[in-house]
Amino acid sequence: MDTEVELYNGGRMSLEDFLDKPFPRDILVKLFIKKTMRLAAYQSLRNSAGDFPLLNAAASKLGDEWRIVVGARPLRAGIAYKASKFLTENSFNNEQMDAAAGLLLRSYPLAPT
């Protein structure tokens, strides 16, 4: 979502750079979310309303570009590059969504390594 994070020791960086780094021992100070015409949806799966999410998923579209991000405990969130690229390059219909979901499932680590 064109977002930047500010960490107490690590300073300001894009959310994508933050997610690509090993888990930092730092304090999240601020989130900076740029206002664009991006459309987005977010869903989470929790054991109970007050619990931390077990699984998070978000999809967004800006212009013709799709971005899909998935995160699960104890793993961190990551961009589903193959599925995002597939949706960006193909028409949006149920068949293409099923194909993108398959790409996401085949490329997402389901257990910590």
Q: Which of these, 84, 71, 82, lies nearest to 110 by C-alpha position?
A: 71
Q: Which of these, 30, 103, 32, 33, lies nearest to 66 by C-alpha position?
A: 103
Longest dimension (CA), the chain: 45
Per the rule left: phi > 0, alpha: psi between -120 and 50, beta: everything else, 2 is: left
Buried b / exposed e over 83-103, threshold 16 CB at 10 Å, is bbbbbeeeeeeeeeeeebeeb
Domains in the chain with CATH codes = 1-35 (no CATH), 38-113 (3.30.390.50)
pLDDT in tens, the chain (113 residues): 788 999 999 899 998 888 777 777 889 999 999 999 999 999 999 999 888 888 899 999 999 999 998 887 766 778 888 999 999 999 888 999 899 988 988 877 654 44
pTM summary value: 0.74
Name every residue whose Cβ is closer than 8 Å to that of residue 42 and which is 6 or more positions away in sequence.
Answer: 56, 57, 58
